[in-house]
Amino acid sequence: MQNLRSVTISAISALSVAMFAGAVSAAQVSGGNWQKSYPLSGKASLTIGTGDASLDVHACGACRAMSIQVDWRDRKPADFILNESQSGDHVTFELKEKPHYGIHISIGNLHEPHVTVESPAALDMEARTSDGGVKIAGIEGAIELRTSDGGVDVSDVSGSLRLTASDGAIRIHNVTGTLESRSSDGHATIDGKFTAVQVHTSDGNLDLTLAEGTQLNASSRVESSDGRVTVRLPRSMPVDLDVHTSDGNIKCDMPLTMEGYDSAHSGGHNLRGRLNGGGVPLAIHTSDGNVTIAAL
């Protein structure tokens, strides 16, 4: 009986220690960063929504897996719902804050979570944020970004880029391929080697540089509802220009074969002409602001 009692007590003690260790481990997981790796066999694709959290996506060299990490910062993991899954080479990830009921008072500025994605460079991605900055670097593929409130920084990507931003500065640097960008409020700075561009800003200045090596193969359009527009082109680039401003001046620093120029107080200013013999149509329109066309 004594031996049996000793064995029983020892077993219970061991179980208690194991349960305590498990509780500590679980606390460390819930209190620290969340992270998961997704193995890949082909080209990766990602659908991700981060709510008010900021998002950083970048290539990880020759890796064969996608890694997603959540840094909770000042927030509690229990305040969020995290859903994630993988089907083949497609990963789905969503982070959203749980609904609050009643009156909630917070003192000071809380830092929202930060989501980091590391992926092979070849990646097709659809990303959405509600109120948080977005940073994308080194990705090759079809990229679609939607953000309601937060800055956007995209660099060293190639493929097709579609961006919809409601409020926040936009920086697009060294992009190769096609670009569709619509922004409502914020300065936009864009440069790259494009095959087609469709850019619209509602309120904010726009600086667009078509880098050396750009070859437009489809009609392109640049629009601004309220703000200055500056477009820089390679000196040898052949395009058909159609420039209009309702309230502002037009300045072209490149040799232009004029096809028409209209200037009237009621109709604004209109300029049409060909650069380097003409080529793909490029329209530059603004409702309120000056337009400058400059050579690189």
pLDDT at res. 10: 42
Q: What is the pTM of this model?
A: 0.84
Cα torsion 38, 97, 124, 152: sign: negative
Task: Name the burial class of residue 279, with classes exposed (0-12), middle (13-18) and buried (19+) by CB atoms within 10 angstroms of its CB.
Answer: middle
Q: What is the pLDDT of residue 207?
A: 96
> Model confidence over 11-70: pLDDT tens digits?
434 444 333 333 333 333 445 799 999 999 999 999 999 999 999 999 998 899 999 999
pLDDT in tens, 244-253: 998 888 999 9
**pLDDT the model gives residue 23:** 33
pLDDT attached to residue 27: 30
263, 284 contact by CB (below 8 A): no
* Residues in the chain where the model's pLDDT stays below 50: 1-30, 107-108
The predicted pLDDT at position 101 comes to 62
Could you name the CATH architecture of 42-100+110-295? 3 Solenoid (2.160)
pLDDT at res. 109: 58
* Residue 268 pLDDT: 78
Q: How far apart are CA 184 and CA 186, in angstroms?
A: 7
pLDDT of residue 104: 52
Query: How far from 98 is each of 51, 101, 129, 133, CA to CA, in Å?
Result: 11, 10, 16, 20
Report domain extents, the chain.
Answer: 42-100+110-295
pLDDT at 129: 94
Q: What is the pLDDT of residue 220?
A: 98
